[in-house]
Chain A
């Protein structure tokens, strides 16, 4: 079963490259997403047996990240099918600079989407750190063509930066894995198992010096991919130039996968008594990411870049939660879900606005509430949710992390956290509200025959975010607690 969850999207992705008919291929995309989601939900009821001698297994962390990825991909596949139907095939002029460009083949786009899903699924289920590395690098390679869907020089520049910066980061993470293997090897024996459970049970005997060096390298490597400052430089470019559905998946699903890579090595640090060291580093990088995001969100002209920096901010919040430990771990795991749901919705809405207004500059957009009532409303609600206003889900998780900081008496962390959140709230409020209100320019016309899914999918996600703020289902809460225990919460 565990193999099926990975192989189905991989095979469907390979097939999608060769299917000529557009409707058939879009059908394949949606149905694969449905089947894969059904399978990953089924793992909650029937825990799957480990495969490949324990290399692939599902623990609470994996289950959480897998189900979230599948859910987001399902939502995105409906949106993508509607989006691709609305994309014109012939070359057209660029919104910003007016030159002509065309799209990449739709078959490659769909194929890469599905391969991307397969790679992310492999990340969530890998228990062997080498395999995890292979999977994380595979996500980079599968998603790079997604960014270069609109063939013009800006998206090409973004793709190049993404490919090179992430590959270099990931190469450092591989060095980190080798260091970890050195930490685990004892004089006289050559074979080292890099399976997580073996490392965890052997943790007290790991060489602390090498383990520390391994953690730093893997934090830098996977942190590059996750978008933690100061390694985040690829992220705003890639997110602003990719088609919105790809941005949504990059931000909502891919960043989590890289975070999982860091969590795995954090687990080892916790088990071997180096928890203070890894927590301190995560805390520093987390607060730094929030600060960088606060600086660049304030006065940001481009609303897709604004969302991208908001992702840097939230990755920072996740790192702060894990860095605090204790109740912060629960908050962080809950925030993974809340942030992903909200950010995917916001990128979808941003895509709708971009399709109608033909600009990414916030001040050229006005009256979104009148032109696109559903998307306009979701834009405002999504802004409230992502900045941590009650009663939405992110409020609950951000508050849990704040409370963890206060309970531990770390008032400096708590104050810095609150101030940065406030700056970001203020920085996002002005452009977002100005975009929603006011009267629209007269030449704005909503194209006829827009797919229903373009509004319905973000609306459903919006409802989910509201629900997560009011009521966390007990079965979910239990799994999050279990995941937090894996990370050392008592």
Chain B
């Protein structure tokens, strides 16, 4: 079981680097979709064999939503907006990967500093979760296309979820479903907003959403 968890976590970290390095939106969307499916597997694998019906169905639902439904919504928004590439990120792709490497170091250090009261199934759990959160934040800050920002938000959310799986936290079903619903509706509403942005401005470059600011006499 431990081997499986470790393998999942390593792939999770790799998808993080893929997100930082790729300029093709389709590749990024695919990376986030893979993350979603990995997290579903992780939640099942982390239960260490004591499987219940709910304990399997819930991660599967989550994997279906995050691995298929949300990416489909985003791909549709991408077609509407007629963009396939992130052009001119605020920092280059090489630098992004270097930042990613630093973030991985920080995550490993944090994983050492914050010891879990319960022994986790793998020492990689905490660092991988933190790293995914950090990748999400980096994407949010340094990318300018609205779609990439949504991907950043989803990556952050995946990192948070991975942490939940890492501590084998049993959230009640109602809350789990509520969180999933919120994320789904959130991305849905963002997709609508992207559609309107592309129609309104003929682009989805949020770097040009700069009309609103404080004018002072």
Contact = CB atoms under 8 A, between A and B. Distances in A.
A complexed with B: yes
A224 to B, nearest CB: 13
A107 to B, nearest CB: 16
B164 A178 contact: yes
Given A153-B211, A178-B160, A240-B212, A159 B175 contact: no
A142 to B, nearest CB: 9
Contacts of A138: 182
B123 to A, nearest CB: 16
B190 interface: yes
B171 A174 contact: no
B79 interface: no
Contacts of A158: 212
B29 interface: no
Interface in B159-217: 159-160, 163-164, 167-172, 174-175, 178-179, 181-182, 185-186, 189-190, 193, 196-197, 200-201, 206, 209, 211-212, 214-217
A185 B117 contact: yes
Contacts of B211: 153-154, 157
A399 interface: no
Given A154-B211, A160-B146, A167-B153, A187 B197 contact: no
B44 interface: no
Interface residues of A, number: 58
B90 to A, nearest CB: 15
Interface in B41-85: none
B197 A156 contact: yes
A300 B146 contact: no
A418 interface: no
B212 A181 contact: no
Nearest to B179: A134
Nearest to B184: A141
A452 interface: no
A192 B196 contact: no
B50 to A, nearest CB: 9
Interface string B88-106: 0000000000000000000
Interface string A177-206: 010011001111011101000000000000
A361 to B, nearest CB: 9
B196 A156 contact: yes
A213 B126 CA distance: 15
A171 B160 contact: yes
Contacts of B137: 168
B167 A178 contact: yes
Interface string A237-273: 1001100000000000000000000000000000000
The B contact surface, by secondary structure, is: helix
A153 B160 CA distance: 33
Contacts of B178: 130-131, 134
B157 A178 contact: no
Interface residues of B, number: 47
Contacts of A41: none
A130 B117 contact: no
Nearest to A132: B175
A161 B206 CA distance: 9
Contact of B153 (A140, A164, A174, A194): A164
A296 interface: yes
A187 B179 contact: no
B118 A187 contact: yes
Nearest to B115: A209
A191 B50 CA distance: 14
Contacts of A175: 133, 159-160, 163
A134 B182 contact: yes
A133 B179 contact: yes
Contacts of B35: none
A130 B160 CA distance: 13
A168 B140 contact: yes
Nearest to B213: A237
B116 interface: yes
A300 B216 contact: yes
B15 interface: no
B38 interface: no
A441 B146 CA distance: 42
A27 interface: no
A128 interface: yes
Given A171-B160, A186-B117, A237-B212, A192 B182 contact: no
Given A134-B179, A168-B153, A178 B215 contact: no
B156 interface: yes
Contact of B117 (A145, A160, A187): A187
A381 to B, nearest CB: 25
A134 B175 contact: yes
Contacts of B216: 296, 298-301
A171 B153 contact: yes
Contacts of A141: 182, 185-186, 189
A253 B7 CA distance: 47
Nearest to A186: B117
A485 B157 CA distance: 35
A144 interface: yes
A154 to B, nearest CB: 5
A208 to B, nearest CB: 12
A301 B170 contact: no
A356 B217 CA distance: 23
Contact of A130 (B153, B167, B179): B179
Given A160-B209, A209-B114, A130 B201 contact: no
A169 B169 CA distance: 21
A363 B217 CA distance: 10
25 contacts: A130-B172, A131-B175, A148-B193, A156-B196, A156-B197, A161-B212, A163-B190, A163-B193, A164-B150, A168-B137, A171-B157, A172-B160, A175-B160, A178-B163, A178-B164, A178-B167, A185-B167, A187-B117, A187-B119, A237-B212, A296-B216, A299-B216, A300-B214, A300-B216, A301-B216
Enumerate the 7 nearest inter-chain pairs by beta-carbon distance, A residue then B residue, closest first: A134-B178, A130-B175, A137-B182, A299-B216, A157-B209, A237-B212, A301-B215
Given A163-B190, A236-B214, 6 more contacts: A167-B153, A171-B157, A175-B159, A178-B167, A187-B118, A301-B217
